[in-house]
Amino acid sequence: MIAMVIGSCLAGYLVSLFGFGVFSFTSLIASAIGGSLGIYVAFKLT
């Protein structure tokens, strides 16, 4: 769960660095992808 939150936050922040809004559709999609990647990484590490 922690990896999902960290991945989601990092992906959302990364999108904001490129000038998109924090609550934009792009940020929402990036956060979902980051959360999925966080779950994948946590699964592989355990």
Indicate the domain borders of the chain: 2-45
Block residue for tokens 């609550």: 23
CA separation, residue 12 to residues 32, 43, 46 (Å):
9, 21, 25
* Predicted local confidence at residue 45, as pLDDT: 92
pLDDT at 35 (0 to 100): 93
Q: What is the pLDDT confidence band of residue 44, given thresholds at 50, 70 and 90?
A: very high
- Flag whether pLDDT at 1 surpasses 80: yes
pLDDT, tens digit, 9 for 90 and up, residues 18-41: 888 878 898 889 999 999 999 999
Query: What tokens does 17 get?
Result: 């660095």
4, HSE (Cβ side, Cα atoms, 13 Å): 5
